[in-house]
Amino acid sequence: MHTSIVEDDTVVANVLGMTFVEALYFSSIAHTIEVELAELRHNGIDASLLYINLPESVGPW
């Protein structure tokens, strides 16, 4: 399963990523919603963990 973590705090994103890897999930990290949207367009992502208060994000995306 390919999971994606969208989090602007690098430490939090890395901890979550390590947790997903320990659970045997492939995980990618995006620090902005724009990077995540590009990732979603080009790669098969099964699940995303999204921090909803990203500083530069305004919905809908």
Structural domains of the chain, count: 1
The pLDDT of residue 59 is 56
What's the pTM value of the predicted model, to 2 decimals? 0.77
- 10-residue stretch averages of pLDDT, the chain, 61 residues long: 90 92 90 87 87 66 50
CA dist 46 and 19 (Å) reads: 17
State the pLDDT at residue 56.
Answer: 67
Instruction: Give dist(CA 35, CA 24) in Å, integer.
Output: 23
- Residue entry with tokens 């994000």: 57
- Cβ-count burial of 59 within 10 angstroms (0-12 exposed, 13-18 middle, 19+ buried)? exposed
Peptide bond into 55 cis (omega under 30): no
Both tokens of 3, joined, read: 């999971």
Give me the domain span that covers residue 26. Answer: 2-50
57 assigned to some structural domain:
no
**Does residue 56 lie within any of the structural domains?**
no
